[in-house]
Structure 1
Amino acid sequence: MRPSPATIALLGLIAYAPAASAGEEWQHAIDTGLGKPGAAMPGNVYRVGLPRSDLHVTLDGVALKPAFALGSWLAFRKMDGEVMVMGDLVLTEDEVNPVMQHLIENGIEITALHNHLLRASPGTLYMHVSGHGDPQKLAMTLREALGASRTPFGGATAGGTPPFGNTGPASAGEGPVPVRAAAPDQTLDLDTAAIDRELGRKGKVNGGVYAVSVPRAQTPRDHGMVVPEAMGSAIAINFQPTGGGKAAVTGDFVLTADEVNPVLKALRTNGIEVTALHNHMLDDEPRLFFMHFWANDDVAKLVKGLRAALDQVRVAKT
């Protein structure tokens, strides 16, 4: 009889057993429970990226890189003697119900489920989650839930972490599957300096994508907890070069109610499609709306439109 995905995940956790090094005890507990190390971020946040490198998604003829629009993540923050977690899980349609069922049964809240893009093939859905409690238990619950998906947990990461295989249905019964380490980022076919100047922020190259983060002027709270930039409270703008001076662009604007329609109009006026509008949290203050967008066009034109949209938002001063 073949072992279940959850059993394989637990066996992998035992094999992983990361050694304690620099960092806090609660962060090591997350590493152990999740079976994959994260990174310390500003705001006392410990964030683990889980890009869906197993998916091959195209949109309007563009093959989407995992870092562009297929990046699951979990962000943990220590608060009042326990750990809070928020995250965004990228799932295929057949993965949604199994993952959701395990999360519900083990005390993790589902705060949103929606699309980000239109016309993508295969389609993906995005499940936002929230929970609090013991860090290792939270991490193990999330790992077991994602064992009902094909989310990869493998690949060498900075610091020499050993590869850890996919525990989803595709590899059930086959044991851990080694995954090659990702190649170093290449120089992008983008004038990133011009993008930085126009948007007023300096981006970063990540997985063949140029990512720009723009925090709001006011740091929001959820259930009374401050939600730092690393937990998804900042505007995210991603550029993926598509050749000939063009790029695909996607991400989300984080908006208060009065900013929604001015930003929507600015984007559409400049040829940028608005593909989704929804909430990510349940008890946020101020109440925030997340507007996702898409375009594949001349970079200078896109940046001009994005700047026009940013001008409608109360963003933090540089």
Structure 2
Amino acid sequence: MKKIMLSALSLLAAISCFAQIDSAALNNVFGKKGTVTGDVYKISYPRSDLKVTVDEFPVAPGLALGSWIGIIQMHGQAMMMGDLVLLDSEVPKVITKLMEENLEVTAIHNHLINETPAVKYIHYHGEGNAVELAQKIKAVLQVTGTPLTPPTGTLITPKSPDWSKVTAILGNTGKPTGSLLQYTFPRKEKTMESGMEMPPAMGMATAINFQMNGTSVAITGDFVLLADEVTPVVKALTENGIMPTAIHSHMLHDEPRLFMMHFWAVGDPEKLAKGLKEALSKTNAKM
């Protein structure tokens, strides 16, 4: 009987560790619907209010201007991580508000270069009750110009370009949306942050985005790398005409230690896809 009781308690503990996150309550806080992937709730706030160009190429919000929030429910509490896209003038008040809300700032840096206006990215971290964490980061968003509600009226979605040359190289797992094609390539090994296993949806996957603008195609995103992968990926990218634009960390207590490498190029989509595939081959990513 004692063994049965212990087994039942172990089962209950396991269930509580991976309890389904209350997405309805989080949607209520954020005022719109997020997505749930496994144990991860994720919601995005594109900076559609900004008109950013890189060397005269107009950057779509979905290409490189998407603030996002990820919340994972484990071990009886939640962890929140994400990325805020900000104008330089918004950075000081956001840092102040993050401190007021007892959230950690884990990185402040660029992702792009030569962009107008200048854009910075703040990564953050928090632990506690999921709804309370959502309320805290919502209060942070409110001190920025980030649009907090979906646009009203009928939106005309442009016809998706022909990405067949790209998908022939990188595969059909990419998600086409309007002028964009977006890929994620998870890493094969387990990644941890503050003792919690972090699934790919929490920013642990290499992200690659394509944007078609007329006859030009731009690429950007970030590779998630181990230290020994950084130099081989830089070499593969630069040899294929793709410029690394930033190398940095996003977290403070990650295991193994991870580095994020952002990149940019404009050119022929087939050539760019081949360069990205060569760079991916230097990593431990699932392709």
What TM-score comes out, normalization by structure 2 length?
0.89
User: Which residue in 1 is equivalent to 2:277?
Assistant: 307
Aligned length: 269
User: Which residue in 2 is equivalent to 1:163?
Assistant: none
Give unpaired runs (5+ residues) of structure 1: 1-23, 156-178
How far 1:202 sits from its partner (Å)?
Answer: 1.6
CA distance in 2: counterparts of 1:220 and 1:201, whole angstroms: 25
Q: Is the 8 A contact 1:65 1:207 kept in 2?
A: no
How far 1:201 sits from its partner (Å)?
Answer: 5.1
Q: Does 1:187 align with 2:154?
A: no
How far 1:29 sits from its partner (Å)?
Answer: 2.3
1:228 equivalent among 199, 212, 220: 199
2:34 equivalent among 34, 38, 56: 38
CA displacement 1:14-65 (0-9 Å, x = unmatched): xxxxxxxxxx672222222233321112x31110110000000011111110
**Are residues 289 and 182 of structure 1, via their aligned partners in 2, closer, same or farther at CA, if it must alter by over 3 Å?**
farther
What letter matches 1:310 in structure 2? L
How far 1:229 sits from its partner (Å)?
Answer: 1.3
User: Which residue in 2 is equivalent to 1:58?
Assistant: 53
How far 1:80 sits from its partner (Å)?
Answer: 1.2
What letter matches 1:197 in structure 2? A
Q: Does 1:203 align with 2:198?
A: no
1:149 equivalent among 144, 154, 179: 144
User: Which residue in 2 is equivalent to 1:94?
Assistant: 89
User: Which residue in 2 is equivalent to 1:257?
Assistant: 227
User: Which residue in 2 is equivalent to 1:134?
Assistant: 129
Q: Which runs of 4+ in 1 moved over 4 A?
A: none
1:214 equivalent among 185, 190, 193: 185
SS in 2 for 1:188: coil
**Are residues 214 and 292 of structure 1, via their aligned partners in 2, closer, same or farther at CA, if it must alter by over 3 Å?**
same
State the percentage of identical aligned residues: 43
CA distance in 1: counterparts of 2:278 and 2:172, whole angstroms: 14
**Are residues 299 and 277 of structure 1, via their aligned partners in 2, closer, same or farther at CA, if it must alter by over 3 Å?**
same
Give unpaired runs (5+ residues) of structure 2: 1-19
User: Which residue in 2 is equivalent to 1:162?
Assistant: none
Q: Is the 8 A contact 2:217 2:267 kept in 1?
A: yes
SS in 1 for 2:145: coil
Which has more strand, going by share of residues?
A: 2
SS in 2 for 1:118: coil
How far 1:97 sits from its partner (Å)?
Answer: 1.2
CA distance in 1: counterparts of 2:30 and 2:128, whole angstroms: 15
CA distance in 2: counterparts of 1:253 and 1:182, whole angstroms: 35
Q: Is the 8 A contact 1:223 1:283 kept in 2?
A: yes
CA displacement 1:285-318 (0-9 Å, x = unmatched): 11110000000001111111111101101112x5
Q: CA RMSD in A?
A: 1.7
Q: Does 1:78 align with 2:50?
A: no
User: Which residue in 1 is equivalent to 2:63?
Assistant: 68
User: Which residue in 1 is equivalent to 2:238?
Assistant: 268
SS in 2 for 1:251: strand
Q: Does 1:116 align with 2:111?
A: yes
How far 1:182 sits from its partner (Å)?
Answer: 6.6
CA distance in 1: counterparts of 2:96 and 2:202, whole angstroms: 24
**Are residues 221 and 184 of structure 1, via their aligned partners in 2, closer, same or farther at CA, if it must alter by over 3 Å?**
farther
What TM-score comes out, normalization by structure 1 length?
0.81
What letter matches 1:208 in structure 2? S
CA distance in 1: counterparts of 2:154 and 2:76, whole angstroms: 36
What letter matches 2:159 in structure 1? T
User: Which residue in 2 is equivalent to 1:277?
Assistant: 247
User: Which residue in 2 is equivalent to 1:293?
Assistant: 263
